[in-house]
Structure 1
Amino acid sequence: MVFGMFFRAALPRVLARSTVVVLTAVLLLTGVTPASSPAQAREADRSQAGAAGPSGRFSIATLNLRKGMRVAGMRHDINQVIGGGATVIGFQERLFSRPALRASLPKSWTLLMPSGPTGTDDNPIAFDKDVWELQKTWSVLLTGKTWRRQTGRIAHDQYGVVAVLRHRASGHVIRSVSFHLPNHLHNRRTGGPNYANRGGVEAMWRMAYRVRVLAQNAPEEHQFVAMCDCNVTSNRDTTDHLVKGRITKPLRLETNYAGKPRKGAVGAGIDYVMGERGSDFRIRSYRSYRKLATDHPGIVATFKRRR
C-alpha cells in the first residue's frame, strides 16, 4: 500500500524529467539553444553572415562628405563605395550631423562619432556589423589648436574616433582612424611646408604625431589602418616634413599615396587609404569613385591575405 502511494507520487516527476531530457536532446540536435536570448540569436546570425563572406579579403573606403549635404546626397555617395565592396568607411568634414549621417547608412551599419566638444571637423567611422565586430572604440583629440579654413585664424579643436574591429570571418583585427589635415599645407614649388600658413603646418605636425602614437601603441596583432583627406597631393610632397615623411614612411604604410601611379591606379589626389604593411593582409587594389554628390572622390582599397 505504501509502495503504491510512493509510486503514484513519484511518477509525474519522473515523466517530467524524461520529457525535459528528450526536449533538450531534440533542441541540441536541431541547433537551437533553449536559453539563448534574442540578442544572442542576432549575434549568431551576424557571425554566420560574416562567416559566409570572404575571409581572405576586405575593403575599406575614405569619403569626404561636404558640409551641408542632405541625406539623399550622402546616401547616394555612401551606396557607391559600399557597392565597391567597402565594409568600413572613414568620413571627413562631418559636423553636427549624427542623425542625418545615421539615416544615410544601411540598417546593418553602425556609426561611431567622436564624443565631447565638436570642432572644425569630426571624423567618424562607420562599419557593417554583419562583417565586423566592434572590440573597442574611443575618441581622440587630433589637434588642440587648429586653423580656420578661410581666414587662417585659430578655430576649435579637431576630434577623431578610433575603432578596433575584428573581422567575423577571418578573425583579423584592425585599428582604424579617420582624420582631416589642414588645407594650403604644402608649397607646390618646393614640395615642402607652406610656411605662409604656419598655423596649418604646425597643426599638421601635431596631428601626424598623434596618428603615429595611435599606430605605435597598437598591439602587434592589430593592423593599423587610416583614412585621410590629407590635403597634400602625392606627386608634390617631396620632403620629409609632410605626410610622406611624417606618417606613411615612419609607420611603413602602403597607400594610394604615390607620385607615379601604376597604369589604372588612382592618380594624384588628396584622399588616401593607408594600411600597415607588416600584416597578414596587404592592400592589393584601389578604386576611385568620382561621380558623387560630394566634391571629393571616394577611394576604396581592397586588402587581401598574403599567400
Structure 2
Amino acid sequence: MFLLPVPPRVLARPTAALVAVLLLFTGLAVAGSPAQARQQERTPAAFASGAKFGVATLNLKKGMRVAGMRHDIAQVLDGDASVIGFQERLFSRPALRAALPKSWTLLMPKGPTGTDDNPIAFDKKVWEVEKTWAPLLTGTTWRRYSGRIAHDQYGVAAVLRHRKTGHTIRAVSFHLPNHLHNRRSGGPNYANRRGVEAMWRMASRIRSIKEDTPDAHQFVAMCDCNVTANRDTGDHLVKGRITKPLRLETNYSADKHRRGSGIDYVMGERDSDFRIHSFHSYRHLVTDHPGVVATFERVR
C-alpha cells in the first residue's frame, strides 16, 4: 500500500473521512475481510453459550485459489457456522488450510485417492475432535460422458464434542455421483444406471454410519447430493434412500417455493437435544454452488 503525503494541518486535525478510511484499512488488515471482521465482533449469547451452533456445507469450484476460498468461507462464517463440510477439494491442502481462520482446523485424512475430497473443518474454540476417519462409500462409480470408471468414493466423518455443552455430533461430508436425477419423472436417471447404482451403494453406507452412531451422539451430514430437492418425488434417490429412512431434517424441503432449487444439503437427526431451527443460503460466492448454513437450536 502506498500513502500519499498529507499536509501537516490535516495530520494535526484529521477529518472524519480520513479517520473512517484509516479504520477501514486497519479493520481489513486485521480481519482479512469485512465478513470475517463482523464474525469476530459478533458473538451472540446463544452461540457463545452453546444453545445454538451452525453447520455449513460448501462445494468448492475446481481450481479455486486461496483468495476465492477465503471469500466463500467468510460468507458462511458470517452465518455463524462453526463446522463446514466441503466437497470437491481438488486443490492443494496448504491452500485450503490457508483459507481458514487461525482458530480452525481441517480434517483431511490421508490415504488412497479420494479420501481427502470431502474434508471437514471446525472451529477449535467451539469443538473438540474425538475421532475422524474416511469411510469408503462405494468402490466403483461411473462417469456417464467419458464411459470410464472413476476412483473410489470416500466420505469424511468426524466425532466432535461441543466444548461448552458437551453435545456430540457425528458429522459426515460426502458427494454423490452426478447425472442421477431425471427431473421430468422425479426419479432416477436410468440413462446413467451405473451412477444411480453407485448412489444406492453410497446411501446404504451412509445409513450404516448413522445406524452405528451412539444414541448420545447426533448424526449430521453435509453433501452435494446432485439431486434437485423439490423434484425428488420417488423413493429411489436422496429422499427415499437417506433422509426419509433416517428421519433427518434438512434444507431439502426448505425451498419448495423455488423451482429447481437445491442440491446442497445440511441434514440433522431429529431425535436429539438440538434441532435445526433455520437455514440460510449464500449465493454470491466464487464457487458455482450456494453455501448452506443450518442453525441448530437446543429444544430440550
**TM-score, length-scaled by structure 1:** 0.79
In the TM superposition, 1:127-138 aligns within 5 A as 127-138=122-133
Is contact 1:179–1:227 with CA below 8 Å preserved after alignment?
yes
Note the alpha carbon deviations across 1:121-179, whole angstroms, 9 max, x for none: 71100000000000111111121101336424211112221100001111100000011
Which amino acid counterpart does residue 100 of structure 1 have in structure 2? A
The alignment status of 1:56 with 2:45, answered yes or no, reads no
Which one of the candidate residues 145, 163, 171 is aligned to 2:166? Answer: 171
1:125–1:261 CA distance, 2 compared to 1 (3 A): same
Aligned partner (choices 162, 169, 181) of residue 176 of structure 2: 181
Structure 2 gap segments, 5+ residues each? 1-44
**Residue 257 of structure 2 corresponds to residue 273 of structure 1:** no
Aligned to 2:282: 289
Deviation at 1:119, TM superposition (A): 3.1
| 2:217 counterpart of 1:241 | no
Q: Which amino acid aligns with 1:251?
A: L
Q: Compared with structure 1, are the counterparts of its residues 220 and 238 closer, same or farther at alpha carbon in structure 2 (3 Å cutoff)?
A: same
CA 1:171/1:181 → structure 2, altered by over 3 Å: closer, same or farther?
same
Residues of 2 paired with 1:128 and 1:121: CA distance?
A: 19
* Count of residues in correspondence between the two structures: 256
Alpha-carbon deviation of 1:189? Answer: 1.4
Contact 2:225/2:238 (<8 A) preserved: yes
State whether residues 156 and 172 of structure 2, in contact with CA within 8 Å, keep that contact through their aligned partners in structure 1: yes
Question: Which residue number in structure 1 is paired with residue 4 of structure 2?
Answer: none
The 3-state SS of whatever aligns with 2:197 is: helix
For 2:118 and 2:169, the matched residues in 1 are separated by 17
Aligned: 1:212 with 2:207: yes
**Among residues 240, 245, 248, which one is paired with 1:250 in the alignment?**
245
Q: Distance in 1 between matches of 2:119 and 2:217?
A: 20
Match of 1:227 in 2: 222
Asked if the contact 2:140–2:149 (Cα under 8 Å) also holds between the matched residues in 1, the reply is: yes
Contact in 1 for aligned 2:221/2:267 (Cα 8 Å): yes
8 Å CA contact 1:266, 1:288 repeated in 2: no
**Helix, strand or coil for the counterpart of 2:155?**
strand
- 1:90 to 2:85 alignment: yes
Which structure has the bigger radius of gyration?
Answer: 1
Distance 2:271 2:72 in 1: 31
Where in structure 1 are there 5+ consecutive unaligned residues? 1-49
Determine if the alignment matches structure 1 residue 300 to structure 2 residue 278: no
**Matched residues, percent identical?**
76
Q: Is the 8 A contact 2:231 2:260 kept in 1?
A: no
1:105 and 1:71 map into 2 onto residues whose CA distance is 9
What's the offset of the Cα at 1:281? 0.2
Per the alignment, residue 111 of structure 1 pairs with: 106
TM-score (norm: length of structure 2): 0.81
Change in Cα spacing, 1:239 to 1:216, as seen in structure 2 (3 Å) is same
Shift of 1:218: 0.5
